[in-house]
Every structure is written in structure tokens, then in C-alpha cells.
Amino acid sequence: DIQMTQSPSTLSASVGDRVTITCRASQSISSWLAWYQQKPGKAPKLLIYKASSLESGVPSRFSGSGSGTEFTLTISSPQPDDFATYYCQQYNSYPWTFGQGTKVEIK
Amino acid sequence: QVQLQESGPGLVKPSETLSLTCTVSGGSISDYYWSWIRQPPGKGLEWVAYIYSSGSTNYNPSLKSRVAMSVDTSNNQFSLNLRSVTAADTAVYYCARRHSSTWYFDHWGQGTLVTVSS
């Protein structure tokens, strides 16, 4: 299985700070990476697919980049609604696997 | 807009079978892949299994010996059976739809907590 490792596990930021989350794959996954946002008690919500494509309806302050084994999710100016846990998911190889999550907290 | 809703018992005894159903509304179950994804309390996400509307399946190798999925296209539902459960199977179970062409998940149910305990 491809292992997905996110860093950091927890991140404290203020509203308006730039936030960057990293996701590393144990082997190359090309650009077959998705990012999800999850709030407590809710299902994950798709934000980005194919590493950098923004899902319809997702604010443009979210962006993704990377290819191969290293990827980033950036929130350019986080709003109060953005404080949540974020997961990456690879879909290059079966079985599809997720990172362990990064919790973004309000400082 | 497609909506998914999980249903099933919230408590299952150890060694018994966990059975869940996902009902799809607002769209047809046909011509899509449907998955189960689970999340133990306070932990990350694990893909469990998928089924195509035709009935073809694939399971996570870590669970393959215990899991089975089925589909009921006439009722727009699909189901999960997980045999011989232990406390490690305690999780929120989500049903989800794969994107039309590739393997990320663009529609999710709200999730249902299943606790394995005697």
C-alpha cells in the first residue's frame, strides 16, 4: 500500500494567516491526489482533485500543488469556517489511502 | 443533487456481522462506483470496499477475508457486510460515490457510528 504522511499533525493559525499543509507519498503518485476538509461530526468534503484542480464551489483561497511524492495544500487567508481537519488521499494505486490528517486550529 | 444516507445497527457484538445499507437519492445508482470508507473515533480515514452498479466489487486487502458488498439497483441501495467484528472495527462508516471517471470521492453520506461491544 502507498503510505501518505501529512505534516504537521496540528497547526495553529490566526484568521488571515497563510496556511500550508504538506502531504508526502511513499512512492510516486503522479498528480493523483485529492484534498478533503472535515469538520467535527461531519463527512469529509472534497476541496481539490488531481493535486491542483479546485472542486466547483470551493473558495479560491484554497489551492493545491505538487506532483510525484510531495504535495501541498495552501489556504491563502483562512476564514473562521476553514478551521477544520484536512486529509489528503492518493488514487494512483489500489487500495486508495489517506493521510492521517492535519488539524488547523485558531490561534 | 445526489444524496447518500447510511442506515443500520449502531451496536454490534464481537464476532458477529456488521451490516449497513446506503440509500442513494437524487440520482441513479447505475453507472457509478460506490464505496464504504470508515473512520475510527479520533483517527483517520480508511477505504473499505467498492461496488459498481453492475455488481463487480473490490475490497481493501486488509479486510478482504471478512467483507462483502452488494447492490440493489431497483431500490437505489448498496450494502456492506463485515463478518467476525472486533472492537477494532468500531468506527464511523461513510458511504461515498466515486467521481464519474476516477478514484476520488465527490459525494458522501453523513456517516453512521457502529460500536462493537458486548
pLDDT in tens, B64-110: 999 999 999 999 999 999 999 999 999 999 999 998 888 999 999 99
pLDDT single digits (tens) A6-27? 999 999 999 989 999 999 999 9
Supply φ then ψ for residue A39, to 5 degrees.
-105, 155
pLDDT at B77: 97
Q: What is the pLDDT of residues B6-62, one digit of tens each?
A: 999 999 999 999 999 999 999 999 999 999 999 999 999 999 999 999 999 999 999
**pLDDT value at position B118?**
95
Check CB contact of A99 with chain B, cutoff 8 Å.
Answer: yes
d(CA A97, CA A79): 28
What pLDDT is stored for residue B52 in this prediction?
95
Chain A residue at shortest CA distance from B39? A43
Length in residues, chain A: 107
Q: Using CA atoms, how far apart are residues A95 and A98, in angstroms rounded to an integer?
A: 10
Q: Does the pLDDT at position A107 exceed 90?
A: no
Q: What is the pLDDT of residue B100?
A: 82
Nearest-by-Cβ selection for B104 from A89, A97, A99: A89
Q: Residue A80 — very low, low, confident or very high, per pLDDT cuts 50/70/90?
A: very high
Say yes or no to pLDDT of A78 above 90.
Answer: yes
- CA nearest A56 in B: which residue? B106
Please, which contacts does A83-87 make with residues 24 or more away whose CB atoms are closer than 8 Å? Answer: A84/A37, A84/A38, A84/A39, A85/A37, A85/A38, A85/A39, A86/A6, A86/A21, A86/A35, A86/A36, A86/A37, A86/A38, A86/A47, A87/A6, A87/A35, A87/A36, A87/A38, A87/A44, A87/B44, A87/B45
- A20's grid cell: 500550508
Chain A positions touching B105 (Cβ under 8 A) are: 34, 36, 44, 46, 89
Closest partner residue to A46 (CB to CB) among B94, B103, B104 is: B104
